[in-house]
Amino acid sequence: MKNLKRTIWGIIFIAAAVVIALNSFNIIDFDLFFDGWWTLFIIVPSLVGVIQDRNKSGAVFGLCIGILLLLSAQEIISWDMVWKISLPLIIALIGLKMVFSSFKKDKTDRIIKEIKKDGKNLQHGTAVFCGTELDFGGVVFEGADLAAVFGGINCDLRNAIIENDCVINVSCVFGGVDILVPDNVKIVTNTSCIFGGVDVMKSNNSGEHTIYIDGACVFGGMDIK
């Protein structure tokens, strides 16, 4: 998934370079600083998120807002119309997310609560304005609490001893969390994302045990690989 993201951004940068070069040699006449050019800093990352992220709600919202702001800057619609459209759009997106996620979350929530009741021996990892490396090789892993705030956590479970289903609680705020999992486990995510995303790059649907990823990503991201 990271390779796809790099490819998309690479194509965007190449296209931008071509346009700038053609414009510099007067082959084309394109105003790089057209009205509303700044909205591209919202539209482009959101468009990449729509194509690449599994959880697309934040990216869809950002894309819609960016397009509305661009149309307003181009005087196609008024600023007043932007606010009139934005409010119902936000409410509709929240409603759709709740409807489509509720069925999956109800069952997953019950399973996670049951696992947490067993009083597992949780590991802990915190990264605040720093990076943290966690390696649980040879350790009996029963779950973890991970918090990344303006920082990053790399949690390596590839050589951990996983004897039962377990839960990893994740809080990711303006940060990133990478979880490296062994080949013989199934991954189930139960996260809420606000302008963030979770990418599951590796999961064995017939795995002997399941790792549940529970928590929230706010302007942050998580990769399970």
Lowest mean pLDDT among 25-39, 68-82, 210-224: 25-39
Proportion of the chain above pLDDT 90, given as a percent: 7
- Given a cut of 80, whether residue 204 has pLDDT beyond it is no
Q: Cα 55 from chain centroid?
A: 6
pLDDT at residue 3, as a whole number: 56
d(Cα 138, Cα 141) in Å, to the nearest integer? Answer: 9
- The values of phi and psi at residue 67, to 5°, are -65, -40
Dump pLDDT digits (tens) for 155-176.
999 999 988 888 888 888 888 8
pTM assigned to the model: 0.55
As a whole number, mean pLDDT of residues 75-86 equals: 83
Q: Which two tokens stand for residue 209?
A: 């045990």
Dump pLDDT digits (tens) for 99-154.
655 555 555 666 666 666 666 777 888 888 888 899 988 888 888 888 888 889 99
Answer left, alpha or beta for residue 143, where phi above 0 means left and psi between -120 and 50 means alpha. Answer: left
